[in-house]
């Protein structure tokens, strides 16, 4: 009988049957209150035949908060229902979420026949950009998870305590209805007001107060009937299949930016900063891509973002590889300067620990971080909520993938007809307010089209 121990979470695996036990701890030096009872999570993962496109499996009538997704190019994970959930707020939200997941895994009983990344129990999570935001942090463990990687498909069912996981055969659900009578309105600031804010930021950068700041704006969306999150996810996946199409607790979007991936000790991060809008003319777009690669303004913005990621990963990694120059990532509506940073994990950090150390990166905040963050609080005049915060998933061992919640919208908990969209731009000394407004409009396109295009 073979056995292996993952020291990060104390996971003991014995021939596909995983019984998770607590790591040894020292005795307390003084009396403590009895800990809250930890639910016993019971999960079963089995291989299944190809059931069809992942996003088509999401059942109807589950609502925005009941959908979980992390899908790119047809592969990834979808989930529905809630076996367990956890919420936290404030500066300690990452640590508290990690501690909760560790305690759940310490008592979990898992049967996993595949032992693949994403098989077994998975927590989908999203975190507020600011520690002061009431949106806080959310971890969701669905009752049902379907995964696809390469030629492998699997089904994980999860129960808690005496509610043992059942069995089912995933199949395509009824197709979602398109949103009806969708209208868009200015959010916290109008376009003209936001341009004025950008001009103020450029003045402060030019005075030497900071090098870069990322400013976001929002749009308010209303429809005549409840908006089906499955419609948005399927439309985003069709049009932007090389992004990570995500949904966690009512936050839905398609992000091109992978904050961090941890898989068997290998750490990777994709940094995006520097953007130009596509025209639809291939020859013209190639010329625009070349100009983007030579743009001193965009290269400066990109350098700040790459440097912030490499510095944040350095305490956890060795052999960090940072390419000398970025490549141009072509998406359906825009092009970005992109750099893939990689390293080898040297400590016991989990994927969530790494995401916390990377947040907020210069790509969504600015540099110096504290100065840029203070400027965002003063200038944006809105709560970002979970926009621009980490979003993704992690497994029992702490491996997982976390992106940055970009090109996204947050459903209104009280009104399923309403959703709030977000987009942001990196502002540096050479930024032009009119150009930045146009760039933010381009970044709204994925969600606007998903809401209005048939």
45 near 155, Cβ under 8 Å?
yes
For residue range 365-424, list pLDDT tens digits in order.
999 999 999 999 999 999 999 999 999 999 999 999 999 999 999 999 999 999 999 999
Q: CA 270, CA 317: separation in Å to the nearest integer?
A: 16
Residue 150: the pLDDT is: 95
Q: pLDDT band for position 279 (50/70/90)? A: confident
| H or E element, residue 452 | helix 433-452
Instruction: Report the SS3 class of residue 169.
Output: coil
The token pair that represents 420 in the structure block? 């709030």
Beta strands in 50-136 (DSSP E): 67-72, 75-80, 84-88, 109-112, 122-127
The confidence score (pLDDT) of residue 25 equals 43
Helix pair angle (282-294, 296-313), 10° resolution: 70
Its CATH class, for the domain covering 3-22+40-452, is alpha beta
The answer to whether 109 and 40 have CB atoms below 8 angstroms apart is yes
- Give the residue-averaged pLDDT of 345-350: 94
Query: What pLDDT, on a 0 to 100 scale, did the predictor assign at position 282?
Result: 83
Residue showing tokens 């970009």: 406
- The catalytically annotated residue of 96, 212, 301, 443 is 212
Identify the pLDDT of residue 34: 55
Confidence (pLDDT) at 336: 85
Cis status of the peptide bond prior to 360, with omega within 30 of 0: yes
Q: How does residue 15 score in pLDDT terms, banded at 50, 70 and 90?
A: very low
pLDDT at position 9 is: 41
How confident is the model over 24-80, as pLDDT tens digits?
A: 444 444 455 555 677 899 999 999 999 999 999 999 878 899 999 999 999 999 999
The answer to whether the beta carbons of residues 349 and 267 sit under 8 Å apart is: no
Q: CA 431 to CA 440: how far, in whole Å? A: 13
CA 285 to chain CA centroid, Å, is 28
CA distance 299 to 305: 10
Strands (DSSP E) contained in 278-355 are 317-321, 327-330, 334-345
> How remote is the C-alpha of 151 from its chain's centroid?
25
Q: Is 12 left (phi over 0), alpha (psi -120 to 50) or beta?
A: beta
From the list 416, 445, 434, 414, the residue with the least C-alpha distance to 219 is 445
Containing H/E element for 354? Answer: helix 351-358
Average pLDDT, whole number, for the chain?
89
Angle among Cα 397, 398, 403 to the nearest 5 degrees reads: 145
Give the pLDDT of residue 435. Answer: 94
Phi, psi of 290 (to 5 degrees): -65, -40
- Alpha carbons 309 and 25: distance in angstroms, whole number: 33
Cα gap 107→233, rounded to integer Å = 34
Angle between helices 351-358 and 296-313 (to 10 degrees): 130
Q: What local confidence, expressed as pLDDT, does residue 35 receive?
A: 57
pLDDT score at 46: 94
Distance CA 31, CA 298 (A): 57
pLDDT of residue 454: 61
pLDDT in tens, 294-330: 888 888 888 888 888 899 999 999 889 998 889 998 8
Q: What is the pLDDT of residue 434?
A: 96
Spatial neighbors of 76 by CB under 8 A, at least 6 apart, are: 54, 69, 70, 118, 147, 148, 149, 244
Are 409 and 447 in contact, with CB atoms under 8 Å apart?
yes
Q: Could you say which of 60, 75, 209, 257 is catalytic?
A: 257
Residue 172 structure tokens: 């395509």
E strand residue ranges, 142-250:
144-149, 152-160, 183-186, 212-222, 244-248
Q: pLDDT, tens digit, for every residue of 146-166?
A: 999 999 999 999 999 877 767
Report d(CA 418, CA 221) in Å as an integer: 6
Q: Average pLDDT of 248-257?
A: 95
* Residue 149 falls in which region: left (phi positive, over 0), alpha (psi -120 to 50) or beta: beta
Is residue 297 annotated as a catalytic residue, yes or no? no
CB contact at 8 A, 17 and 10 = no
Strand partners, 193: none
- Residue 317 confidence (pLDDT): 93
Residue with tokens 């790119």: 72
Q: Which is higher by pLDDT, 11 or 435?
A: 435
CB atoms under 10 Å from CB of 51, counted, come to 16
- Is the pLDDT at 21 greater than 80? The verdict is no
> What's the pLDDT score for residue 259?
94
Instruction: Determine the pLDDT at residue 170.
Output: 86
Cα–Cα dist 72/243, whole Å: 6
Task: Summarize pLDDT for 206-243 with one digit per residue, the tens.
Answer: 999 999 999 999 999 999 999 999 999 999 999 998 89
pLDDT over 70 at 138, yes or no: yes
Query: With 60 as the cut, is the pLDDT of residue 353 above it?
Result: yes
Say if residues 272 and 443 touch (Cβ distance below 8 Å).
no
For the chain, domain boundaries: 3-22+40-452
Active-site residue flag, 212: yes
High-pLDDT (> 70) share of the chain, %: 91
């Amino acid at each position: 009988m073979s056995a292996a121990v993952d020291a990060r979470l104390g996971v003991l695996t014995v021939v596909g049957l995983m019984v998770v036990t607590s790591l040894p701890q020292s005795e307390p030096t003084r009396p403590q209150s009895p800990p809250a009872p930890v639910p016993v999570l019971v999960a079963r993962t089995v291989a299944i035949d190809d059931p069809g496109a992942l996003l088509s499996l999401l059942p109807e009538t589950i609502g925005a908060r009941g959908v979980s997704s992390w899908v790119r190019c047809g592969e990834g994970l979808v989930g529905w229902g809630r076996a367990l959930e956890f919420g936290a707020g404030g500066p300690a939200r990452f640590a508290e979420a990690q501690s909760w997941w560790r305690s759940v895994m310490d008592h979990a009983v898992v049967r996993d026949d595949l032992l693949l990344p994403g098989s077994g129990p998975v927590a989908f999570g999203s975190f507020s950009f600011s520690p002061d935001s009431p949106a806080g942090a959310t971890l969701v463990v669905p009752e049902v998870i379907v995964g696809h990687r390469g030629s492998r498909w699997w089904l994980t069912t999860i129960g808690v305590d005496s509610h043992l996981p059942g069995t089912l055969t995933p199949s395509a659900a009824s197709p979602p209805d398109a949103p009806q009578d969708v209208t868009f309105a200015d959010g916290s600031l109008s376009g003209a007001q936001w341009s004025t804010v950008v001009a103020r930021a450029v003045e402060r950068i030019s005075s030497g107060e900071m090098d870069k700041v990322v400013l976001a704006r929002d749009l308010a969306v209303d429809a005549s009937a409840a908006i089906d999150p499955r419609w948005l996810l399927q439309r985003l996946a069709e049009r932007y299949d090389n992004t990570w199409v995500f949904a966690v607790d009512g936050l839905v979007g398609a992000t091109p930016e992978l904050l961090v991936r941890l898989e068997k000790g290998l750490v990777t991060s994709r940094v995006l900063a520097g953007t130009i809008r596509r025209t639809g003319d291939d020859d013209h777009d190639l010329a625009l891509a070349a100009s983007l690669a030579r743009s001193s303004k965009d290269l400066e913005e990109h350098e700040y973002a790459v440097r912030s990621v490499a510095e944040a990963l350095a305490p956890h990694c060795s052999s960090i590889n940072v390419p000398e120059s970025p490549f141009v990532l072509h998406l359906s509506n825009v092009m970005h300067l992109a750099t893939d940073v990689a390293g080898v994990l040297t400590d016991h950090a989990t994927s969530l620990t790494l995401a916390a150390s990377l947040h907020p990166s210069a790509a969504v905040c600015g540099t110096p971080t504290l100065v840029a963050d203070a400027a965002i609080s003063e200038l944006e005049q809105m709560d970002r909520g979970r926009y621009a915060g980490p979003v993704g998933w992690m497994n029992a061992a702490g491996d997982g993938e976390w992106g940055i919640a970009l090109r996204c919208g947050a459903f209104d908990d009280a009104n399923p007809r309403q959703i709030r969209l977000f987009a942001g731009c990196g502002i540096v000394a050479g930024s032009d307010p009119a150009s930045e407004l146009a760039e933010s409009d381009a970044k709204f396109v994925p969600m606007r089209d998903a809401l209005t295009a048939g």
